Amino acid sequence: MASLLPTLPLYVEYIGGSKQQIGTVMGSFAIGLLLFRPKLGKMADKQSRKIVLLIGLIVATITPLGYLFVKSIPLLMVLRAFHGISVAAFTTGYFALVADLAPADKRGEIIGYMSLINPLGLAIGPTLGGYLQAAVGYPILFLVASELALAALLCAVHVNHTHEQVPQNSSESSQFWQILISPRVRIPTFIMLIVGLVFGTLSTFVPLYIRETGVDLNPGLFYTAAAISSFSTRMVTGKASDRWGRGLFVTIALVFYGVSMIMLWKADSTSSFLFAAVVEGAGVGTLVPMVSTMMADRSHPEERGRTFAMCITGFDLGIALAGPLLGLVAEELGYANLFLYASGLSFLGMIVFLTQSNKDLISSIRFALGKAEDAYALKR
């Protein structure tokens, strides 16, 4: 799916979409995430992580074929929403599975390593998609994306894992709203909402912004640079968080995000775009494994799928809102100022995490700076 990332906004524009419509179509992806992730989290807990993985990969195989035939904005919105189910299912099942397998004292390290699949795909996919679109057009690009998802599906069929079944009433946070509003989940979910807004802005508007500036840069290379940086960061931060705590690295990640958006605001050359991508990649490469690990620290095995799903729902909602809401900013003030707004959102998230991430202000600041343990983490 990463191979479609830089080309879909251009495809929507190619068939006649406005800036606002581009944002709406790209944001529709999160509708499938929002509607189905809670159900998929529950399925992962009560039935099987593997079933949820397979659902995600089946949808990822089918959807690119739909792009071959869809030419209208409303139908593209529906197709993008369906496509969102693929990420909702795969990420929920995958991270719950990895958390099941990882020893508690090495959880950050293991999740950091296993999360390398995402930047690896983003390192190859966007550049491949950009070159394929330029060389052979959209139809072949969509066919290749479908075939890659099919290959992943054939591999996932051989996954053999059964997580330990624990009585569902053993935890007080077994229901959707109990999980979502609980202190251990509420603030991480808000942070993921903020990051989802920023990430949605990047995935939707960077290709168009690069073209508007006249910089001679394949948009796929921006995402590739970010992915390489993300990959490199994940190699070290997961293990480091087992020693220094998750909070410090969440704070660092939010700083990276804010700085990268300021750099994009001022970007006017190939090097400045790529440097911003490297900083953003370090941010996402730190944040996503850290929040995932923090949710594993704070949840019982029988609720792990739902806890993770609820937290990542914040990210999904941010992506859903980024296109249509920040598309209005782009229409009124241009793409450059859009990224200035995104930097403000990143620093807002950092302030909230510094002051609200634990049981009181002092413990929150200490946790966010790596000076105290997570008060919400379950005893190992």
Supply the CATH number for residue 100's domain. 1.20.1250.20
Residues whose CB is less than 8 angstroms from the CB of residue 169 and which lie 6 or more positions away in sequence, other chains included? none
Give me the pLDDT at residue 171, please: 44
Give the pLDDT band (50/70/90) at residue 173. Answer: very low
Is residue 172 over pLDDT 50? no
* Kind plus residue range of the DSSP H or E element containing 250: helix 246-265
Reported pTM? 0.74
Over 50: is that where the pLDDT of 134 sits?
yes
Q: What is the dihedral of CA 99, 104, 105, 110, to 10 degrees?
A: -10
In a domain, 179, yes or no: yes
The answer to whether position 165 is within a domain reads: no
Q: Return d(Cα 181, Cα 301) in angstroms, integer.
A: 19
pLDDT mean over 364-376: 92
Domain that holds residue 141: 2-157+175-368
- Domain-located, residue 123: yes
**379 falls within a domain:** no
Q: Is residue 81 part of a domain?
A: yes
Q: Establish if 163 belongs to a structural domain.
A: no
Give me the mean pLDDT over the 89-95 stretch. 86
324 neighbors 24 (Cβ within 8 angstroms) = yes
Is 80 exceeded by the pLDDT of residue 286?
Answer: yes
- Choose from 137-151, 222-236, 277-291 the range with maximum mean pLDDT: 277-291
Which one-letter DSSP state was computed for residue 267?
A: -
Per-residue DSSP letter, 211: H
**Number of DSSP helices (H) and strands (E) in the chain, helices first:** 16, 0
Assigned domain for 373 exists: no
Q: Which pLDDT tens digit goes with each residue over 329-352? A: 777 778 888 899 889 999 999 999
What is the reported pLDDT for 380? 53
Based on the structure, what is the number of domains in the chain? 1
For residue 299, being part of any structural domain is answered with: yes
Residue 201 has pLDDT above 50, yes or no: yes
CA 153/CA 149 separation, integer angstroms: 6
CA nearest to 295, candidates 369, 194, 191:
191
